[in-house]
Structure 1
Amino acid sequence: MAKPMMILQALFLLAILQALPNHAAAPTATADLFREYIGAEFNNVKFTDVPINPQVDFHFLLAFAIDYDTSGSPSPTNGQFNVFWDTDNLGASQISSIKSQNPKIKVALSLGGDSVSNGNCYFTPSSVDSWVSNAVTSLTAVIRKYNLDGIDIDYEHFKSNPDTFAECIGRLITTLKNNGVISFASIAPFDDPEVQSHYQALWNKYGNVIDYVNFQFYAYDQETSVDQFLKYYDEQSSNYDGGKVLVSFISDGSGGLSPADGFFKACDRLKKQGKLQGIFAWSADDSKANGFRYERQSQAVLATPN
């Protein structure tokens, strides 16, 4: 029988462990994760076009659902989300079909994006309570209709302060998870002062419900070198301390460290250092033109043992 002092010490240790900050939620997948945005450009790309290595976890990210109306001149709807991706090719039946082919395939929904109908897409809540209420209701309907697994936050323009953004998005993710509507969530910031101020406010308050950081490393200068890329990775890993920060490329090579200019060399170095958490790409729509060569390479890197 344990002595009373030993029991007290064990209880004290347990209390300390429970009090420690749990800053990053345990992810639903391993470090062998590849993610790809799809559906924003309406060029008839299909899930089945994209090569999928059975050894990796694969997330398709539908781009986008936006809280704007679908009129010819869209305006904000305060959290009432509508579908803006190519549902003709990426609809409910296609989602169910691709997921049934491989248990490692998940399909998530990205919110916001850079633009809507040739104008900037702004995060524009009327109030925290009303936006969260509308967003939970509308997104629950979309997620259940399309049999989706998670959400990704990709707002890039803001008509709110960082604290309001943090509270709206944090409460949205928390509620959807608590309701069993989604099993994972990610954010997609990039290195811009306004963008970072909003996402770091969200991370600092609600990092425990965010599973992945889809950092847009392709938003850096096109002349980025391997060494610079690795420096950027360390900086952003510090900014999102404790998070699963994924590296990324843009299919057309228009920004950041291109797959043709050293991206995979950087991935190999990160992998050897035990830092490679996963890779994501923007986007399948653009990769269709080059036969998805970089998707194949990315997944080969992830599937190769250290």
Structure 2
Amino acid sequence: MESCFCSTVLAILFVYFFSISNAANSKLFREYIGAESESIKLTDVPINSKVEFHFILAFAMDYTNGNSPSPSNGKFNIFWEFNHLGPGEIASIKHGHSNVKVAVSLGGDTVGDGKAFFAPNSIDSWVKNSVSSLTNMIKEYNLDGIDIDYEHFHSDPSTFAECIGQLIMSLKKSGAISFASIAPFDDEEVQSHYLALWKKYGHVIDYVNFQFYAYDKISVSQFVSYFKKQASNYAGGQILASFISGGGGGLKPDDGFFEACSELKGEGILGGIFIWCADESTKLGFEYEKSSQDFLASA
């Protein structure tokens, strides 16, 4: 019994320090794309060959895709602007850049004129439908991973945890995806659902795209404090720093974002950077994408 206990403790410590090391050495850059523009192209976004680059298509939703979308119990459809974000474009960008992977984000804030709810009929039926529909989508679009960005819920935290956890495990077991991420923010209902998921299935979640831009405008010290708070909430996870390129809250690059990242990097807890979103960055000439990747590449 004592030997078993010691082995368990050593395993936990190994996972902890391995996660910290991964975060400290991370050159991971991620960007959402496709939620707001019909003209955005993957090739519009500058890609630094010295970083690991993830495009995240926003969004796929388990809603009917028509004039009046309604929940479809795990049967996912494409809701990103796919005019220039189709299978051919994805294959081309991945062929031209060996450091690029592409994921799809599930959920999002709104659908049509209303909120996009997580609304399963049952755990079993939702998981069955979602595994089937997403496996087909992943194969067709040559995707590498999924991101979970549900923000509104018609379910309790336990049901959300089981549905999403079982989905990720099934897709990983079949080899359909190689990574999964979650995108929570500091809201009581949102956190209750994602922390329930993390508590039981955190071991199969690779990245935490925490939406630090959902805070009101904050200072460098506040950003660092909030980052450490969420690193504690999602203990052992690879937490990414984030900002929104087109306005809103959080901490902007021009207001000290990279100063905060340097501090986090020095403490060995910066898991990478992600931006919402490429669609909005077109107006800025992708200035922040370049500076974010330069920062990661030189770190």
**Under TM normalisation by the shorter chain, which class is it?**
over 0.9
- Who is 1:133 aligned against? 128
For normalisation by structure 2, the TM-score amounts to 0.94
Structure label with greater radius of gyration: 1
Distance 2:249 2:160 in 1: 27
Q: Hey, what's the Cα distance between the residues in 1 that align with 2:6 and 2:164? A: 34
Change (3 A) 1:164 1:117: same
Match in the other structure for 1:169: 164
Cα deviation digits, residues 61-117 of structure 1 (max 9, x gap): 000000000121100000000001121100000000000112110000000000001
Matches within 5 A, 1:1-306: 14=7, 17=10, 31-222=26-217, 224-305=218-299
Aligned to 1:3: none
For residues 191-245 of structure 1, give each alpha carbon's deviation from its aligned partner in whole angstroms, at most 9, with x where no partner exists.
00000000000000000000000000000002x0000000000000000000000
- Quick one: distance in 1 between partners of 2:238 and 2:266? 17
In structure 2, the CA distance between the partners of 1:232 and 1:34, relative to structure 1 (3 Å rule), is same
Q: Note closer, same or farther for the CA distance 1:21–1:135 as it changes in structure 2 (3 Å cut).
A: farther
- SS of structure 1 residue aligned to 2:255: coil
Q: Is the 8 A contact 2:26 2:272 kept in 1?
A: yes
Instruction: Provide the C-alpha distance between the structure 2 equivalents of 1:84 and 1:24, rounded to a whole number of angstroms.
Output: 39
Classify the secondary structure of the residue corresponding to 1:59.
Answer: strand
Deviation at 1:21, TM superposition (A): 9.6
Residue 18 (structure 1) shift: 5.4
How far apart in 1 are the matches of 2:140 and 2:259? 41
Name the SS of the counterpart of 1:241 in structure 2: coil
Percent sequence identity over matched residues?
A: 60
List gaps (5 residues or longer) in structure 1.
1-8
CA RMSD of aligned residues (A): 2.3
The residue type equivalent to 1:288 in the other structure is T
CA offsets 1:142-181 (integer angstroms, 9 cap, x no match): 0000000000000000000000000000000000000000
> Displacement, 1:272?
2.1
Report the CA distance between 1:276 and its aligned residue: 1.4
SS at match of 1:108: strand
Q: SS where residue 260 of structure 1 aligns?
A: helix
Q: How many angstroms does 1:42 deviate by?
A: 2.5
TM-score by length of structure 1 reads: 0.92
Alignment coverage as a number of residue pairs: 297
CA contact (8 A) 1:249 1:281 kept: yes
Counterpart CA distance in 2 for 1:29 and 1:262 is: 20
Distance 1:25 1:66 in 2: 34
Larger proportion of helix: 2
Q: 1:192 to 1:28 in 2, by over 3 A?
A: closer
Decide whether the 8 Å contact of 1:28 with 1:183 is kept in 2.
no
Letter in 2 for 1:71: G
